[in-house]
Every structure is written in structure tokens, then in C-alpha cells.
Chain A
Amino acid sequence: MDLQGFGHLLISGTWVTIQLALSSLLVGLVLGLTGAAAKLSKNRVARWLATGYTTLVRGLPELLLVLTIYFGGSQLLMWIAGGFGYTEYIEIGPFVAGVAALSIAFGAYATEVFRMAMMEIPKGQWESGLACGMSTPRTFFRIILPQVWRLAIPGLGNLFQVLLKDTALVSVVGLNDIMRQSQVAISSTKEPFTFFMVAAFIYLLLTAATTGFTMFMERLANPAARGNRG
């Protein structure tokens, strides 16, 4: 296949896509864990907030989130900052808007995955941790979280695949990712099919790599399933 010298452009776009996906994953995981903690907490307001967050975000198109944050985000931020007496202009770039939108979407689905995983842990695990004299946070980090991880990884892997594919939407607001760079290449070569097909195969490669990594993480998080081979 003849890329007519646009190969390096696609590679730089792939790098931007990977950076965007990983940053959104990190922020999204924090949002998801917070959301799950809020949904399982005894505080009624926290439960309502978390339920509202997941219900709203899961019913909205990701493209709408990206557009809202990119075009309306600075207006909103300036209004909030204005309340604190800051009156300078605040601009939100496509990368920041992309990370914000994708992590909010990822966090809403991850909340459900983490909540399900936390509910799967038998109550006896908590009780025996406390009986051994550990404090509640210590029980959570030493006993519960490693097991939640094992139960949550397959679900999170699927969500990350969705996130990876959604990164393509940020090209609509002008981030130089794979999609945008292939459009640049197309505008001078006039070969849309070739370059979008190359873009499709780059995405396939990335999702395949993610599947492999998820399987590796599943093995890592579940020593029991490895049996006596390891």
C-alpha cells in the first residue's frame, strides 16, 4: 500500500490517540471508584448524586459530551472562576476537552463495574479484616481492593475498548489524532478509502493489543486461576 509519505503523520496521530486514551482511563478510573464508593455509601445525598451521574451520562451520546465541553466548557469555567473573582479568559483545548468528556463517560460505566465487583465481595471478608485488628481503610486497601480488581478487570477491559474507539470523536473538535491526520492526508492525496482503511487497521491493532493486555492483567490479578503452572 502506498502511503505517499504520510506514514509519519499517521504515527504521530496514533501517539496522540494513545495519550488521550490513557489519560482518560486514569481520570475515568478515579471517577469510577469515587462513583462506586458514593453509590454504596450510607450517605443518601452521595447515593443520589452518583445515581444521577450514571443515569444522565449513560443516556447521552459521547459526541454531545465532547461538543458541549469543547464549545461550552470555557463559558462554564469562566462563570465558575468569575465567582471566585478571576476574570481572565479561560480556553479549553481539544485535548483537555477530550480527556474531560471521555473520562466522564468512562467513569459512569466504570462506576457500575466497580459497584458490582464490590458487592460480589462477601461481607465476611470485611468482618475478618476488622477481626484481625485492621482499620476500615486498611481492610479496604489490603483485602477488598485486590479482590475487587480481579472481578472488575474483564469489565474494565471492555470499557477501555469502548473508550479507545470513542477517542476518534475528539477529531471532530480538531485534535490531531489518527482520524484527523488521515483527513489531512486525504485532503492532499484524494484517496479517502485507502487512508480511512489504514486508520481502521491502526484502531484494530490498538484494540487487539488492549485485549492481549487485559488477558495478561486478568492472569496477574487472579493467582488462583493460574493453578500450579506458575
Chain B
Amino acid sequence: MTWEWDVIWKYFPRLLEGAWLTMELVLISGLIGIALAIPLSLMRASTRPWVKALPFAYIYFFRGTPLLVQIFLVYYGASQFEAVRESVFWPMLRQPYWCAIIAFSLNTAAYSAELFRSAIQAIPTGEIEAAEAMGMNKSTQIRRIILPRAFGIALPAYGNEVILMLKGSALASTITLLDLTGMARTIIARTYTPLEMFLAAGVVYLAISALIIALFRFMEYRFNRYQYYHHTETPVDLDPQLRDPHIDQK
């Protein structure tokens, strides 16, 4: 076996172009996914069965089927219907880029809605009751208490979901998009060096996931600061005027 480093160096800029598209896909579909997931999770957390039913079916379908089927349904499946081909959406649905974004957004919305729902249900009941006692109505409660609290609780799990989305974005290469995996496959078709190119692509994927993990660590530290708070004892020789009677009552 001959290992060709030069091929890696020569085509590395092309791979980075692919990595750029991968990150773009993850970011855009992640944002659309969150926007869809918030109303879905609020409906899913409802106690009324007829409100719960629709998001339940949606989440069940998208979590129970492979992402590949979902992408193919959007990219190839939509063209089966005359009505779709003549509608205003057709110029968008014809492009693999938008099909990938639609499929990824719908998929991640289902997974994130489930995460947000469990976060909403993990908010201590006392906090909701306190908001109730303050006289907040339901929409103020959602805006001021439920969503900010659920955001903090869901953050670590959502970081994992973003990593899974990054890994899922490799499927964009199956509908001819030149993302990181697609670019590697194109280069391999020309140079026939599968091990070298896939290894290089793998290293780039690992670098992107390391970046995402670091970003979420930082956000967690920033938004869940109360979990990182350490109480330090007040020095005994502190000027009595600087003491706070509420904190040290000795």
C-alpha cells in the first residue's frame, strides 16, 4: 500500500470548501429546526390530548425513520406530484441545497422538540406555581419563565443533537451536494486514494465537532452560571463595614 501525503495537501483547500458547506447546512437547518421545535415542544408538553396528537405523530415519524429516507422523500419524492412541480416552491424544491435544508430542519426539529419537551417538564413545579402566584398569565409565563429555564436545562443535550446533526449532514452527499463527504468522494473519483481522502475528511469532521463541543461548553458556562458558582468564605479580618449581614450571619 502506498500512502500519498501530497494528494491530501493538494486537495485540502477543496475539502475545506466542502467543510464550509457542511457548517452552513448545519447552522441554517439548526436555526430553522429550533424555530419549529419551540411551538412543537410547547404543544407536546400540553395536557390536552388533541393538542398533543399532531406533534406526537410528527415526532414519531421523523424519529422513527432514517434521515436518508427523509432526504430522498423531499428530493426525489416531491417531483411525483404535478401540483408540486407547478407550484411556486418548485424552483426551490428542484435544488439539492434547499432539499437538504428542508429535510435536515424537519428532522432536527423532531429531535429537538423532544429534548425541549423533557426540559420543560423538568422545570420544578414550584417555579411555575411562583409565576402563577405573581399573577402572570400563560403567555408571560412561557416567555419569562418556561422558555428561559428550559433553554438552560436543554443546553447540554442540545449540544449532542448538534453533533448528531453534523454527522447526519454527510448524507447531503447522496443528493449530489459537495459537502465535506461529497467533496471527498469527488476527489476520490479522480485520484483513487480512498483511505487518504476519507482520513483527511474525518480529521476535518473531528475538528468541527471539537469546535461545536467547545462552543457549547462556553455557552453552558455562560447561561448556567449558577451551577458553577462556588461560595467563598468571608475573611475573618474583613472590615466590619464591608460585611453583608444577609450572607454571613455568624
**Residue ranges of A at the interface with B (Cβ–Cβ < 8 Å):** 56, 58-64, 67-68, 71-72, 75-76, 78-79, 82, 161, 165-169, 171-172, 179, 186, 190-194, 196-197, 199-200, 203-204, 207-208
Contact = CB atoms under 8 A, between A and B. Distances in A.
Nearest to B166: A61
Contacts of A197: 73, 77
A59 B68 contact: no
Contact of A193 (B80, B166, B169): B80
B228 interface: no
Contacts, number: 117
Given A165-B67, A207-B64, A61 B170 contact: yes
B205 interface: yes
Q: Give the residue among B81, B174, B210 with the most A Cβ atoms within 10 A.
A: B174
B35 to A, nearest CB: 24
Interface residues of B, number: 41
B205 A59 contact: yes
Contacts of A204: 60-61, 64-65
Nearest to B195: A72
The secondary structure that dominates the B interface is helix
Most-contacted residue by chain A among B69, B205, B210 (CB, 10 A): B69
Given A61-B168, A64-B205, 6 more contacts: A62-B170, A68-B199, A168-B67, A192-B80, A193-B77, A193-B80
B194 A208 contact: no
B209 interface: yes
A68 B173 contact: no
Max chain A CB contacts within 10 Å: which of B66, B72, B185? B66
Contacts of B61: 200, 204
Contacts of B67: 165, 168
Contacts of A82: 1
Contacts of B68: 168-169, 171-172, 179
A72 B64 contact: no
B77 A63 contact: no
A146 to B, nearest CB: 29
